[in-house]
A and B are shown apart, each in its own frame.
Chain A
């Protein structure tokens, strides 16, 4: 038995902490107000969903990148006092970790009810972090940025192209991911791409952004604000919604980490998801075959193909063929990105994947997997990452 399973803390987290509320503002290209405002609104929606008041909140967890301010949000919500808060780094690697950290805080008694949120205004072209790179670059960035390797599409493209070369993964395989996400988005009234169908011919004809990746391999750029409420299972049973249990959690940087251009962590040039998955399943009573659907972080389509392998749904190199025959669409063996994901619902550092995971366990998704008992939600696998398994009671 792994050491991590012996840990009293993990025993106290597993199925003992629950997500009890979710909420988000309408996704937009221009939401029209700062993230300090939208964060408050999204958290209030999640509290309303849970049937909780701001006075019940004593913890707060968020992403470190483009962060908002805890005490300002707390004051504007009407929180009595925060006793625990936390900002988690590495952008899309962090969303699932907000749940892990909240669960650890609750299980260890440092907080009773934690709100996790992501508010981000990235719809404007000028808001892209890579386009703001100038001047002297230091530390990890000096290992790749001086050669021009800074756009995420290129950083991830390195893994994608190697995967295509080594395993015969095709553009059509990547297209299957884009089309599955789009089909799900077309049935999700909240999705940015709800009215925009996508077929393989259109996918293949799109302009190149960073070869081998093309336009529809890339996620959207969205303004969004999302939140969820986490508390103990005992409290959850008195609340409005069916509790969604936090079953397993993990965070992993992988060995020899470099932020972004992490190409020396193993002979195979694995992504960080390999190490995160190992911890996640070691700590879990469930395995990949128990997942009724999966929300695999999708800033770019190849992350889903590689994620299917990294999280154990298929063997190394089989992620491409796994996408064939509708297997990852609703009605298939493993529906993936059932809200449309970052590719077609909204790109908000994967926080929308958490909300969709919760909906699937509640049974309220617009692409509901019948009798969904467990689902996986992962973070960005190109960077230090995180993942969570949700299950029903």
Chain B
């Protein structure tokens, strides 16, 4: 599992609330190098965004480690003006990845040029450490 570290975290970086009770398993997993997804253990249905544990069928929910692979469902390439905290990444390729398990999640690419991008491109997860508590799952083209 590949980890990278943000060397110069901008003081205004929009960090996620990793203590959110619904999302905590996702963020805790990312810190440990696991892409976590929620599944209904009875029907096998995947839920993204995750459903709350007090959902009517909450006792059927479980978090599983996803393979960390998927394909590019759609993407955009941001140019300036952009968020000050991410301006150093421009042109910034943001993606909607369709995970091998089914759900579509938002992410961004790393070490990828815009001209490498295409619909259906197989990708694999990379974990980017922003702080001690926050690790962001991001994506790179899959090495076959």
Contacts and interface: CB of A to CB of B under 8 A. Distances in A.
Nearest to B130: A146
Interface in A207-226: 207-213
Given A264-B103, A269-B104, A258 B85 contact: no
Question: Which of B76, B96, B106: most chain A CB closer than 10 A?
Answer: B76
B74 A144 contact: no
Interface in A136-160: 136-151, 154, 157-159
Contacts of A143: 49, 105-106
A71 B94 CA distance: 43
Nearest to B114: A211
Interface in A93-130: 125, 130
A148 B78 contact: yes
Nearest to B91: A211
Nearest to B106: A144
A154 B85 CA distance: 16
A162 interface: yes
B4 interface: no
Question: Which of B73, B85, B94, B103: most chain A CB closer than 10 A?
Answer: B94
A305 to B, nearest CB: 15
Interface string A297-339: 0000000000000000000000000000000000000000000
B76 A136 contact: no
A147 B138 contact: yes
B16 A137 contact: yes
A142 B23 contact: yes
Contact of B75 (A141, A146, A158, A261): A158
Interface size class of A (residues with CB under 8 A): 35 or more
B20 A154 contact: no
Interface string B32-56: 0000000000000000110000000
A210 B134 CA distance: 27
A146 B14 contact: yes
A148 B74 contact: no
A238 interface: no
Given A161-B75, A165-B119, A263-B106, A148 B86 contact: yes
Interface residues of B, number: 39
Nearest to A256: B49
Interface string A13-34: 0000000000000000000000
B14 A209 contact: no
Contacts of B66: none
A130 B80 CA distance: 13
Contacts of A135: 12, 14-15
Given A165-B119, A263-B104, A149 B94 contact: yes
A161 B76 contact: yes
B74 A158 contact: yes
A197 to B, nearest CB: 25
A258 B81 CA distance: 25
Contact of B76 (A133, A137, A158): A158
Given A142-B23, A147-B107, A158-B96, A269 B82 contact: no
Contacts of A130: 83
A146 B15 contact: yes
Interface of A: 125, 130-131, 133-151, 154, 157-159, 161-162, 165, 207-213, 256, 258, 261, 263-264, 269
Given A133-B14, A154-B78, A263-B106, 20 more contacts: A137-B14, A138-B17, A138-B20, A142-B23, A146-B134, A146-B136, A147-B138, A148-B92, A149-B94, A149-B106, A157-B76, A158-B74, A158-B76, A158-B96, A211-B77, A212-B76, A263-B73, A263-B96, A264-B49, A269-B74
22 contacts: A125-B81, A134-B14, A137-B17, A138-B20, A139-B20, A140-B49, A142-B23, A143-B106, A144-B106, A146-B15, A148-B108, A151-B83, A162-B119, A208-B79, A209-B78, A210-B76, A210-B77, A211-B76, A263-B104, A264-B48, A269-B74, A269-B104
- Closest 7 pairs (CB-CB, A-B): A134-B12, A157-B76, A162-B74, A211-B77, A142-B16, A138-B17, A148-B86
